[in-house]
């Protein structure tokens, strides 16, 4: 560096030059051409994923579809909740969202240009059964027939989630939604019906997305639909009905789907990361992974609630029969895990043998306050699932982040923080596959910006920027990054 240029000026000039070159190349094919001196097409040693690794992207019905009153769709608890002033930032609703219901063909082309080979979407229960149960609405199911056909025509495998939080309002009104066993039963029936009609083309179904979010936030903390704050006994029973609904859905899909259909779930487990990778802390993190997920993943995998969970709940423990536990633990073909943040754990001398290490105030997070950065969560999450429960097929069903995402004057969103986040997380996922942990695929959340629940449209998670006024989708810098990862089948 010339002594005439200060370090600061150098940094400024260098970053401006980098920005200019990114602007001209980030979205052109030139970016992926090898340069004369460096063969970028050669795989970067040690950064490749296994051959056939399935790269995908994800969305969910209420967050993208809009068209809430079309083709006989019934209201969901999210329609009701978001229309109550004060529940969602800026009183936003999913009435229009990304208008994906009408623009799905355009959106499939976005996937195609990324090079993804799979798409995880969810089916809106109230489109198929407007009242939750009873007479199905064939026009509602037709939308998913059209979407699935379009995906397959573009060589993209459909992965369908049956419940991503848009419970038919009628089930909430009659019996209190998941507070009632009738909802578990209705969910099983709906799941079987959908599998019967789509499994000629959809080969992978997820029953429920994130028990750990919709039950906790919707029925205990009250910041998601249906906005309840149930007392502990009723709340633990609600948790139980959710896992029971999952088990009934597994059985119904098995009974109705075409042979070869695979069934799993997509759960946001608490991801227990050993604070330091020593045998003691690893052991503690493994114990913690069972206990801190006792109410959902552990009971699903083991067919029993842990003693510690039942003891801590005391007289508020859920009421259940041995038959319930058998249903809940119906065998699965694969496990999906949604992973965003780590929970650091250390060994201690308590009865459980672990303790959670609190995050200091300065701990870094992305635009969403809860989204603490911890790339190694993408290593330890699948490793725990494989080692504790001997699961042979794992998918990362969500991973991604929010960023402030402001378009630059040239119209491009230079979300370098999202690229940093993804690169580091994928590095840890690659480590998992290199260690032989059977992760078969990865679905990036999200294909495009969308309705982020109680945050409305303020927190953006997309690879594509959505201008909600015009519905124009524009690829961000992170879309170019992900395209490169997929093309190389390696961390780029």
Cis bond before residue 398 (omega within 30° of 0) = no
Nearer to ligand NOJ, 137 or 338 (CB): 338
According to CB under 6 A, which one of 425, 461, 481, 482 is a site residue for ligand NOJ? 461
Residue 273 forms beta bridges with which residues?
Answer: 344
Question: Do 126 and 73 meet the contact criterion of CB atoms below 8 Å apart?
Answer: yes
Residues in the chain: 492
Please report the DSSP string for 376-438 in residue order. Answer: THHHHHHHHHHHHH--S-EEEEEE---B--PPPTTS----HHHHHHHHHHHHHHHHHHHTT--
As measured in angstroms, the least distance from the Cβ of 93 to ligand NOJ is 15
What CA–CA distance (Å, rounded) separates 147 from 333?
Answer: 24
Binding mask 372-411 for ligand NOJ (x = CB under 6 A): --------------------------x-------------
Nearer to ligand NOJ, 454 or 490 (CB): 454
The count of chain residues that interact with ligand NOJ, using the rule CB under 6 A, is: 9
Q: What angle do CA 54, 250, 335 make, to 5 degrees?
A: 35
Identified catalytic residue from 65, 210, 267, 452: 210
Q: Is 398 a catalytic residue?
A: yes
Nearer to ligand NOJ, 207 or 338 (CB): 338
The SS3 call for residue 17 is helix
Query: Can you tell me which residue has the tokens 């090898």?
Result: 34
Nearer to ligand NOJ, 379 or 445 (CB): 445
According to CB under 6 A, which one of 172, 184, 209, 286 is a site residue for ligand NOJ? 209
Identified catalytic residue from 65, 216, 291, 398: 398
Question: Do 146 and 184 meet the contact criterion of CB atoms below 8 Å apart?
Answer: no
Question: Do 462 and 476 meet the contact criterion of CB atoms below 8 Å apart?
Answer: yes
Query: Can you tell me which residue has the tokens 């694969």?
Result: 334
Nearer to ligand NOJ, 293 or 338 (CB): 338
Residue 346 forms beta bridges with which residues?
Answer: 355
The SS3 call for residue 58 is strand
Alpha helices by DSSP H, 154-215: 169-173, 181-198, 211-215
Interface with ligand NOJ, residue 270, by CB under 6 A: no
Binding mask 50-69 for ligand NOJ (x = CB under 6 A): ----------x--x------
Which residues within the stretch 313-342 sit at the binding site for ligand NOJ (CB under 6 A)? 338
As measured in angstroms, the least distance from the Cβ of 461 to ligand NOJ is 6
Nearer to ligand NOJ, 291 or 398 (CB): 398
Which two tokens mark 381? 């999450």
CA 189 to chain centre: 24
Which residues within the stretch 430-459 sit at the binding site for ligand NOJ (CB under 6 A)? 445, 452
Q: Which residues bind ligand NOJ (CB under 6 A)?
A: 60, 63, 209-210, 338, 398, 445, 452, 461
Residues known to be catalytic: 210, 398
């Amino acid at each position: 560096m010339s002594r005439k240029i200060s370090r600061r000026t150098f940094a400024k000039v260098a970053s401006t030059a980098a920005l200019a070159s990114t602007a001209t190349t980030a979205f052109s094919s030139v970016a992926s051409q090898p340069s004369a001196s460096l063969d970028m097409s050669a795989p970067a040693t040690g950064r490749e994923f296994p051959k056939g690794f399935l790269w995908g992207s994800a969305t969910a019905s209420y967050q993208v579809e809009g068209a809430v009153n079309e083709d006989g769709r019934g209201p969901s608890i999210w329609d009701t909740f978001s229309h109550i002033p004060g529940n969602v930032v800026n009183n936003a609703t999913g009435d229009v969202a990304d208008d994906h219901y009408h623009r799905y063909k355009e959106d499939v082309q976005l996937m195609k240009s990324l090079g993804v080979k799979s798409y995880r979407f969810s089916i809106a229960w109230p489109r198929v059964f407007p009242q939750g149960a009873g007479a199905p609405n064939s026009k509602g199911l037709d939308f998913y027939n059209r979407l699935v056909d379009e995906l397959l025509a573009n060589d993209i495998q459909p992965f369908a989630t049956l419940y991503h939080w848009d419970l038919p309002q009628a089930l909430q009104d009659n019996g209190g939604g998941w507070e009632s066993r009738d909802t578990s039963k209705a969910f099983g029936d709906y799941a079987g019906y959908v599998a019967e009609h789509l499994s000629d083309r959809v080969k992978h179904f997820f029953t429920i997305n994130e028990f750990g979010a919709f039950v906790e936030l919707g029925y205990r903390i009250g910041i998601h639909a249906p906005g309840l704050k149930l007392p502990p006994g009723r709340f633990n029973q609600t948790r139980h009905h959710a896992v029971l609904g999952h088990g009934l859905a597994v059985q119904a899909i098995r009974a109705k789907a075409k042979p070869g259909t695979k069934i799993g779930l997509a759960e946001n487990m608490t991801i227990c990361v050993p604070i330091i990778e020593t045998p003691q802390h690893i052991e503690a993190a493994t114990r913690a992974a069972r206990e801190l997920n006792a109410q959902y993943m552990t009971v699903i995998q083991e067919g029993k609630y842990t003693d510690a969970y039942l003891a801590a709940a005391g007289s508020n423990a859920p009421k259940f029969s041995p038959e319930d536990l058998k249903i809940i633990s119906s065998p699965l073909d694969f496990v999906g895990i949604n992973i965003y943040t780590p929970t650091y754990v250390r060994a201690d001398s308590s009865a459980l043998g672990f303790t959670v290490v609190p995050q200091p105030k300065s701990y870094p997070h992305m635009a969403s306050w809860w989204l603490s950065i911890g790339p190694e969560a993408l290593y330890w999450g699948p490793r725990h699932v494989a080692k504790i429960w001997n699961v042979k097929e794992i998918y990362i069903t969500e991973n991604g982040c929010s960023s402030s995402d402001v378009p630059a004057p040239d119209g491009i969103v230079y979300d370098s923080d999202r690229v940093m986040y993804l690169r580091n997380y994928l590095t840890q996922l690659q480590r998992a596959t290199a260690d032989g942990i059977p992760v078969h695929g990865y679905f990036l959340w999200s294909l495009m910006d969308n309705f982020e629940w109680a945050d409305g449209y303020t927190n953006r998670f997309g690879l594509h920027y959505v201008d909600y006024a015009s519905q124009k989708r524009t690829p961000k810098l992170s879309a170019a990054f992900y395209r490169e990862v997929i093309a190389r089948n390696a961390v780029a």
